[in-house]
Protein backbone atom coordinates (compact mmCIF):
# COMPACT_ATOMS: atom_id res chain seq x y z
CA UNK A 1 0.00 0.00 0.00
CA UNK A 2 1.23 3.48 -0.91
CA UNK A 3 2.42 5.41 2.13
CA UNK A 4 2.29 9.13 2.92
CA UNK A 5 6.09 9.09 3.02
CA UNK A 6 5.83 8.72 -0.80
CA UNK A 7 2.79 10.97 -1.24
CA UNK A 8 3.94 14.06 0.67
CA UNK A 9 6.81 16.50 0.22
CA UNK A 10 7.78 16.09 3.90
CA UNK A 11 8.26 12.37 3.14
CA UNK A 12 6.90 11.11 6.43
CA UNK A 13 3.80 9.16 7.45
CA UNK A 14 2.27 5.70 7.26
CA UNK A 15 -0.35 4.34 4.85
CA UNK A 16 -4.03 5.14 4.36
CA UNK A 17 -6.62 2.35 4.66
CA UNK A 18 -7.58 2.89 1.01
CA UNK A 19 -6.11 4.79 -1.93
CA UNK A 20 -7.58 5.69 -5.34
CA UNK A 21 -6.24 7.98 -8.06
CA UNK A 22 -8.55 10.02 -10.34
CA UNK A 23 -7.47 11.45 -13.67
CA UNK A 24 -10.73 13.03 -14.88
CA UNK A 25 -13.30 15.14 -13.07
CA UNK A 26 -16.07 12.78 -14.19
CA UNK A 27 -14.25 9.79 -12.60
CA UNK A 28 -13.55 11.84 -9.48
CA UNK A 29 -17.21 12.78 -8.99
CA UNK A 30 -18.36 9.17 -9.52
CA UNK A 31 -15.56 7.85 -7.26
CA UNK A 32 -16.36 10.28 -4.47
CA UNK A 33 -20.07 9.40 -4.63
CA UNK A 34 -19.23 5.69 -4.40
CA UNK A 35 -16.68 6.11 -1.56
CA UNK A 36 -18.91 8.51 0.42
CA UNK A 37 -21.79 6.02 0.22
CA UNK A 38 -19.53 3.42 1.87
CA UNK A 39 -17.61 5.43 4.45
CA UNK A 40 -17.30 8.74 6.28
CA UNK A 41 -13.53 8.27 6.51
CA UNK A 42 -12.03 9.86 3.38
CA UNK A 43 -9.52 12.50 2.49
CA UNK A 44 -8.68 14.53 -0.64
CA UNK A 45 -5.04 14.68 -1.70
CA UNK A 46 -3.31 16.93 -4.21
CA UNK A 47 0.47 17.31 -4.26
CA UNK A 48 0.91 16.43 -0.57
CA UNK A 49 2.91 19.64 0.01
CA UNK A 50 0.86 20.95 2.92
CA UNK A 51 0.12 17.72 4.72
CA UNK A 52 1.80 15.73 7.49
CA UNK A 53 0.33 12.40 8.52
CA UNK A 54 1.23 10.28 11.57
CA UNK A 55 3.61 7.34 11.24
CA UNK A 56 0.69 4.98 11.94
CA UNK A 57 -1.10 6.26 8.80
CA UNK A 58 -4.85 6.89 8.71
CA UNK A 59 -7.93 4.74 8.72
CA UNK A 60 -9.42 6.55 5.72
CA UNK A 61 -9.59 6.30 1.94
CA UNK A 62 -7.46 8.82 0.07
CA UNK A 63 -8.84 10.31 -3.14
CA UNK A 64 -5.72 11.39 -5.01
CA UNK A 65 -6.77 14.14 -7.42
CA UNK A 66 -4.81 14.20 -10.68
CA UNK A 67 -7.43 15.74 -12.96
CA UNK A 68 -6.10 18.00 -15.71
CA UNK A 69 -7.34 20.77 -17.96
CA UNK A 70 -7.24 24.55 -18.32
CA UNK A 71 -9.98 26.48 -20.12
CA UNK A 72 -10.27 30.16 -20.97
CA UNK A 73 -13.87 30.71 -19.92
CA UNK A 74 -14.49 34.31 -20.76
CA UNK A 75 -12.36 37.08 -22.16
CA UNK A 76 -14.01 40.46 -21.75
CA UNK A 77 -11.53 43.23 -22.76
CA UNK A 78 -10.47 43.95 -19.16
CA UNK A 79 -10.35 40.47 -17.59
CA UNK A 80 -9.75 36.92 -18.70
CA UNK A 81 -11.46 34.16 -16.74
CA UNK A 82 -9.33 31.03 -16.59
CA UNK A 83 -10.64 27.77 -15.17
CA UNK A 84 -8.33 24.94 -14.15
CA UNK A 85 -9.19 21.44 -12.95
CA UNK A 86 -8.17 20.72 -9.36
CA UNK A 87 -5.32 18.33 -10.16
CA UNK A 88 -3.39 20.73 -12.40
CA UNK A 89 -0.03 21.67 -10.93
CA UNK A 90 -0.21 25.14 -9.41
CA UNK A 91 3.09 26.30 -10.83
CA UNK A 92 2.23 24.88 -14.28
CA UNK A 93 -0.88 27.08 -14.23
CA UNK A 94 1.14 30.13 -13.18
CA UNK A 95 3.70 29.52 -15.96
CA UNK A 96 0.85 29.04 -18.46
CA UNK A 97 -0.80 32.36 -17.54
CA UNK A 98 2.52 34.18 -17.88
CA UNK A 99 3.14 32.57 -21.28
CA UNK A 100 -0.36 33.69 -22.31
CA UNK A 101 0.50 37.27 -21.28
CA UNK A 102 -1.97 37.67 -18.42
CA UNK A 103 -1.08 39.01 -15.00
CA UNK A 104 -2.31 38.27 -11.51
CA UNK A 105 -0.58 35.02 -10.49
CA UNK A 106 3.08 35.79 -11.26
CA UNK A 107 4.21 36.50 -7.69
CA UNK A 108 2.80 33.09 -6.71
CA UNK A 109 5.35 31.31 -8.95
CA UNK A 110 7.07 28.24 -7.54
CA UNK A 111 4.52 27.31 -4.87
CA UNK A 112 4.25 23.50 -4.93
CA UNK A 113 0.97 21.59 -5.04
CA UNK A 114 -2.26 21.51 -6.98
CA UNK A 115 -4.68 24.16 -8.20
CA UNK A 116 -7.52 22.65 -6.11
CA UNK A 117 -5.57 22.98 -2.88
CA UNK A 118 -4.55 26.57 -3.64
CA UNK A 119 -7.94 27.64 -2.32
CA UNK A 120 -7.83 25.48 0.81
CA UNK A 121 -5.33 27.73 2.57
CA UNK A 122 -5.63 30.71 0.21
CA UNK A 123 -1.98 30.37 -0.77
CA UNK A 124 0.02 33.54 -0.78
CA UNK A 125 3.53 34.84 -1.34
CA UNK A 126 5.43 38.00 -2.27
CA UNK A 127 2.50 40.38 -1.89
CA UNK A 128 -0.37 38.44 -3.46
CA UNK A 129 -2.72 35.65 -2.50
CA UNK A 130 -5.21 33.49 -4.34
CA UNK A 131 -8.16 35.50 -2.99
CA UNK A 132 -6.95 38.53 -5.03
CA UNK A 133 -7.95 36.87 -8.32
CA UNK A 134 -10.29 34.02 -7.34
CA UNK A 135 -13.77 34.13 -8.89
CA UNK A 136 -15.30 30.81 -7.79
CA UNK A 137 -14.74 27.13 -7.22
CA UNK A 138 -16.50 24.13 -8.69
CA UNK A 139 -17.28 22.12 -5.54
CA UNK A 140 -18.58 18.64 -4.75
CA UNK A 141 -20.27 18.96 -1.41
CA UNK A 142 -19.99 16.22 1.22
CA UNK A 143 -22.11 14.23 2.07
CA UNK A 144 -24.83 15.22 -0.42
CA UNK A 145 -22.48 14.88 -3.44
CA UNK A 146 -24.23 17.94 -4.88
CA UNK A 147 -22.05 19.81 -7.36
CA UNK A 148 -22.21 23.59 -7.21
CA UNK A 149 -20.30 26.72 -8.05
CA UNK A 150 -19.33 28.68 -4.94
CA UNK A 151 -18.28 32.32 -5.35
CA UNK A 152 -15.05 33.46 -3.68
CA UNK A 153 -16.84 35.72 -1.19
CA UNK A 154 -18.59 32.68 0.35
CA UNK A 155 -15.30 30.88 1.06
CA UNK A 156 -14.22 32.85 4.17
CA UNK A 157 -10.76 33.31 2.67
CA UNK A 158 -8.22 34.71 5.11
CA UNK A 159 -4.56 34.46 6.02
CA UNK A 160 -3.73 30.86 4.98
CA UNK A 161 -7.32 29.75 5.65
CA UNK A 162 -10.73 29.16 4.07
CA UNK A 163 -14.09 27.61 4.94
CA UNK A 164 -12.81 24.35 3.41
CA UNK A 165 -9.70 24.35 5.64
CA UNK A 166 -11.79 25.02 8.79
CA UNK A 167 -14.30 22.40 7.55
CA UNK A 168 -17.26 24.82 7.69
CA UNK A 169 -17.54 23.56 4.14
CA UNK A 170 -16.75 19.87 3.54
CA UNK A 171 -16.15 18.35 0.15
CA UNK A 172 -13.85 18.35 -2.84
CA UNK A 173 -12.69 21.30 -4.90
CA UNK A 174 -13.12 20.05 -8.48
CA UNK A 175 -11.92 23.16 -10.28
CA UNK A 176 -11.03 26.80 -9.75
CA UNK A 177 -11.80 29.94 -11.80
CA UNK A 178 -9.58 33.04 -11.70
CA UNK A 179 -10.08 36.49 -13.23
CA UNK A 180 -6.77 37.73 -14.61
CA UNK A 181 -5.81 40.83 -16.50
CA UNK A 182 -4.42 40.86 -20.05
CA UNK A 183 -0.92 42.35 -19.76
CA UNK A 184 -0.76 44.09 -23.12
CA UNK A 185 2.31 45.98 -21.86
CA UNK A 186 3.93 42.71 -20.64
CA UNK A 187 4.04 44.15 -17.12
CA UNK A 188 3.19 42.50 -13.80
CA UNK A 189 0.77 43.56 -11.09
CA UNK A 190 2.13 46.40 -8.89
CA UNK A 191 4.88 44.96 -6.67
CA UNK A 192 4.29 45.48 -2.96
CA UNK A 193 6.72 43.07 -1.32
CA UNK A 194 9.97 44.75 -0.44
CA UNK A 195 12.36 41.86 -1.16
CA UNK A 196 10.77 41.39 -4.57
CA UNK A 197 10.65 44.98 -5.81
CA UNK A 198 14.20 45.52 -4.56
CA UNK A 199 15.41 42.37 -6.36
CA UNK A 200 13.90 43.77 -9.55
CA UNK A 201 15.33 47.24 -8.97
CA UNK A 202 11.95 49.02 -8.99
CA UNK A 203 10.18 51.12 -6.39
CA UNK A 204 7.31 49.94 -4.20
CA UNK A 205 4.08 49.77 -6.19
CA UNK A 206 5.86 49.77 -9.57
CA UNK A 207 5.53 46.97 -12.08
CA UNK A 208 8.16 44.83 -13.84
CA UNK A 209 8.14 42.44 -16.80
CA UNK A 210 5.96 39.36 -16.14
CA UNK A 211 8.74 36.86 -16.94
CA UNK A 212 11.27 38.86 -14.89
CA UNK A 213 8.95 38.76 -11.89
CA UNK A 214 8.60 34.99 -12.19
CA UNK A 215 12.37 34.58 -12.43
CA UNK A 216 13.00 36.84 -9.43
CA UNK A 217 10.39 35.06 -7.32
CA UNK A 218 11.84 31.64 -8.21
CA UNK A 219 15.35 32.84 -7.31
CA UNK A 220 14.20 34.31 -3.98
CA UNK A 221 12.27 31.15 -3.19
CA UNK A 222 15.24 28.90 -4.09
CA UNK A 223 17.51 30.92 -1.77
CA UNK A 224 15.13 29.97 1.08
CA UNK A 225 14.70 26.30 0.09
CA UNK A 226 11.11 27.10 -0.87
CA UNK A 227 11.13 25.54 -4.34
CA UNK A 228 10.92 21.75 -4.55
CA UNK A 229 14.31 20.65 -5.79
CA UNK A 230 15.65 17.09 -5.51
CA UNK A 231 19.17 18.57 -5.11
CA UNK A 232 18.17 20.77 -2.16
CA UNK A 233 17.68 18.91 1.17
CA UNK A 234 16.13 22.08 2.62
CA UNK A 235 13.17 21.68 0.29
CA UNK A 236 12.12 18.36 1.87
CA UNK A 237 9.48 20.13 3.92
CA UNK A 238 5.88 21.29 3.98
CA UNK A 239 6.92 24.90 3.32
CA UNK A 240 6.40 27.31 6.19
CA UNK A 241 5.59 25.24 9.24
CA UNK A 242 4.04 28.07 11.27
CA UNK A 243 1.65 30.92 10.50
CA UNK A 244 2.86 34.46 11.00
CA UNK A 245 1.01 35.35 14.22
CA UNK A 246 -1.42 38.25 14.33
CA UNK A 247 -1.36 40.00 17.69
CA UNK A 248 -2.61 43.27 19.12
CA UNK A 249 -0.43 46.32 18.73
CA UNK A 250 0.01 46.29 22.52
CA UNK A 251 1.59 42.80 22.42
CA UNK A 252 3.77 43.76 19.43
CA UNK A 253 5.06 46.78 21.33
CA UNK A 254 6.45 44.43 24.00
CA UNK A 255 8.91 42.99 21.46
CA UNK A 256 12.28 44.56 20.60
CA UNK A 257 12.09 47.48 18.18
CA UNK A 258 13.73 45.48 15.38
CA UNK A 259 11.00 42.80 15.37
CA UNK A 260 9.44 42.97 11.89
CA UNK A 261 5.75 43.89 11.99
CA UNK A 262 3.06 44.86 9.52
CA UNK A 263 -0.33 46.46 10.05
CA UNK A 264 -3.01 43.98 9.06
CA UNK A 265 -5.44 46.80 8.36
CA UNK A 266 -4.35 50.15 6.95
CA UNK A 267 -2.06 51.89 9.40
CA UNK A 268 -4.11 54.29 11.56
CA UNK A 269 -3.72 57.86 10.47
CA UNK A 270 -2.05 60.37 12.77
CA UNK A 271 -4.67 62.00 14.95
CA UNK A 272 -4.35 65.76 15.26
CA UNK A 273 -6.12 67.12 18.31
CA UNK A 274 -6.03 70.51 20.06
CA UNK A 275 -4.03 70.12 23.29
CA UNK A 276 -7.14 70.84 25.32
CA UNK A 277 -8.59 67.58 24.00
CA UNK A 278 -5.55 65.43 24.72
CA UNK A 279 -7.53 63.30 27.17
CA UNK A 280 -10.05 62.43 24.46
CA UNK A 281 -7.84 60.36 22.22
CA UNK A 282 -9.87 57.92 20.12
CA UNK A 283 -9.94 54.48 21.70
CA UNK A 284 -8.09 52.80 18.78
CA UNK A 285 -5.05 54.91 19.57
CA UNK A 286 -5.02 54.44 23.32
CA UNK A 287 -6.14 50.80 23.42
CA UNK A 288 -3.28 49.54 21.22
CA UNK A 289 -5.57 46.86 19.84
CA UNK A 290 -4.94 47.31 16.12
CA UNK A 291 -4.01 43.90 14.69
CA UNK A 292 -0.34 43.57 13.78
CA UNK A 293 1.25 40.68 11.87
CA UNK A 294 4.62 39.45 13.18
CA UNK A 295 7.27 37.32 11.51
CA UNK A 296 7.20 33.78 12.91
CA UNK A 297 10.69 33.22 11.44
CA UNK A 298 12.04 36.22 13.36
CA UNK A 299 10.37 35.05 16.61
CA UNK A 300 11.93 31.58 16.23
CA UNK A 301 15.45 32.95 15.78
CA UNK A 302 14.96 35.58 18.50
CA UNK A 303 13.96 32.75 20.87
CA UNK A 304 17.36 31.13 20.35
CA UNK A 305 16.55 28.50 17.71
CA UNK A 306 19.00 28.93 14.84
CA UNK A 307 18.65 27.78 11.25
CA UNK A 308 19.67 24.11 10.93
CA UNK A 309 18.70 23.32 14.56
CA UNK A 310 17.68 19.78 15.46
CA UNK A 311 16.96 17.94 18.70
CA UNK A 312 19.59 15.35 19.74
CA UNK A 313 19.34 12.19 17.65
CA UNK A 314 16.48 13.55 15.50
CA UNK A 315 16.41 13.54 11.70
CA UNK A 316 13.98 16.47 11.61
CA UNK A 317 15.67 19.87 11.53
CA UNK A 318 14.91 23.53 11.03
CA UNK A 319 15.85 24.39 7.44
CA UNK A 320 19.40 25.69 7.10
CA UNK A 321 18.06 28.44 4.79
CA UNK A 322 14.80 29.52 6.47
CA UNK A 323 13.89 29.21 10.14
CA UNK A 324 10.18 28.86 9.36
CA UNK A 325 10.51 25.48 7.63
CA UNK A 326 10.95 22.11 9.32
CA UNK A 327 12.79 19.69 7.06
CA UNK A 328 13.29 15.95 6.87
CA UNK A 329 17.05 15.39 6.68
CA UNK A 330 16.51 11.81 5.46
CA UNK A 331 14.57 9.09 7.24
CA UNK A 332 12.84 11.36 9.78
CA UNK A 333 9.56 10.17 11.28
CA UNK A 334 6.37 12.19 11.60
CA UNK A 335 6.83 11.90 15.37
CA UNK A 336 10.25 13.60 15.08
CA UNK A 337 8.75 16.42 12.99
CA UNK A 338 5.97 16.92 15.55
CA UNK A 339 8.46 16.80 18.44
CA UNK A 340 10.58 19.55 16.88
CA UNK A 341 7.46 21.61 16.16
CA UNK A 342 6.36 21.29 19.80
CA UNK A 343 9.82 22.32 20.96
CA UNK A 344 9.65 25.44 18.78
CA UNK A 345 6.14 26.35 19.99
CA UNK A 346 7.17 25.99 23.64
CA UNK A 347 10.48 27.83 23.23
CA UNK A 348 8.91 30.78 21.37
CA UNK A 349 6.00 30.80 23.85
CA UNK A 350 8.39 30.98 26.81
CA UNK A 351 10.57 33.68 25.22
CA UNK A 352 7.88 35.90 23.68
CA UNK A 353 4.53 34.87 25.17
CA UNK A 354 3.28 34.12 21.66
CA UNK A 355 2.19 30.61 20.73
CA UNK A 356 2.85 29.70 17.10
CA UNK A 357 0.18 27.79 15.20
CA UNK A 358 1.13 25.21 12.56
CA UNK A 359 0.21 26.00 8.95
CA UNK A 360 0.10 22.51 7.30
CA UNK A 361 -2.78 20.10 7.77
CA UNK A 362 -1.73 17.64 10.49
CA UNK A 363 -3.42 14.26 10.62
CA UNK A 364 -3.03 12.13 13.75
CA UNK A 365 -0.35 14.47 15.13
CA UNK A 366 -0.44 16.92 18.03
CA UNK A 367 1.76 19.99 18.10
Question: Is residue 45 at the binding interface for ligand FAD, with CB under 6 A as the rule?
Answer: yes
CA 354/CA 251 separation, integer angstroms: 9
Question: Is residue 172 at the binding interface for ligand FAD, with CB under 6 A as the rule?
Answer: yes
Whether 231 is a known active-site residue: answer no
Minimal distance in Å, beta carbon 102 to ligand FAD?
A: 20
Q: How many residues bind ligand FAD (CB under 6 A)?
A: 35
The region of 40-48, 93-101, 243-251, 252-260 touching ligand FAD under the rule CB under 6 A is 40-48
CA 210/CA 190 separation, integer angstroms: 11
Smaller CB separation from ligand FAD, 18 or 255: 18
Question: Is residue 123 at the binding interface for ligand FAD, with CB under 6 A as the rule?
Answer: yes
CA 338/CA 314 separation, integer angstroms: 11
CA 343/CA 264 separation, integer angstroms: 28
Question: Is residue 318 at the binding interface for ligand FAD, with CB under 6 A as the rule?
Answer: no
Q: Which long-range contacts (CB under 8 A, 24 or more apart) does 226-232 make?
A: 226/110, 226/322, 226/325, 227/110, 227/112, 228/9, 228/49, 228/112
Smaller CB separation from ligand FAD, 90 or 309: 90
- What count of other Cβ atoms lies within 10 Å of the Cβ of residue 245? 19
Question: Is residue 9 at the binding interface for ligand FAD, with CB under 6 A as the rule?
Answer: yes
Whether 6 is a known active-site residue: answer no
**Which one of 88, 106, 336, 359 is the catalytic residue?**
359
- What count of other Cβ atoms lies within 10 Å of the Cβ of residue 58? 20
Minimal distance in Å, beta carbon 196 to ligand FAD?
A: 12
Interaction mask 209-228, ligand FAD, x per CB under 6 A: -----------------x-x
Phi-psi region of 217 (alpha: psi -120 to 50; beta: other; left: phi over 0): alpha
For the segment 56-95, give every residue that binds ligand FAD (CB under 6 A): 65, 86
Whether 194 is a known active-site residue: answer no
CA 131/CA 123 separation, integer angstroms: 8
Question: Is residue 347 at the binding interface for ligand FAD, with CB under 6 A as the rule?
Answer: no
The region of 107-115, 270-278, 279-287, 292-300 touching ligand FAD under the rule CB under 6 A is 107-115
- In b/e form, how buried is each residue of 177-212, taking b as 16+ CB within 10 angstroms? bbbbeebeeebbbebebeebbebbebeeeebbbbeb
Minimal distance in Å, beta carbon 115 to ligand FAD?
A: 8
Contacts of 15 (CB under 8 A, 6+ apart): 1, 2, 3, 4, 57
Smaller CB separation from ligand FAD, 31 or 46: 46
Minimal distance in Å, beta carbon 81 to ligand FAD?
A: 19
List residues with catalytic annotation: 160, 240, 359
> Given the rule CB under 6 A, which residues bind ligand FAD?
9, 43-51, 65, 86, 111-114, 116-118, 120-121, 123-125, 160, 164, 172-173, 226, 228, 235, 237-239, 361
Amino acid sequence: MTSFSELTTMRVGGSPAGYEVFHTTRELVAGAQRIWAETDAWMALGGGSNLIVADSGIDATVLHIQTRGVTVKKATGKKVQIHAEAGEGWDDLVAHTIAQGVRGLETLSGIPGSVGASVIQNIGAYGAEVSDTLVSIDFLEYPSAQRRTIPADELELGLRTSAVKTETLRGIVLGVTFALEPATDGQSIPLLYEQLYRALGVAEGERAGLADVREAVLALRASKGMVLDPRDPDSVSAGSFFLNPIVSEKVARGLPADAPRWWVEPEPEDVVLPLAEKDNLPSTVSAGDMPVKLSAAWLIEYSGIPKGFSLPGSKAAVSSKHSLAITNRGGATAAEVAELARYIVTTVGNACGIYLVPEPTLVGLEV
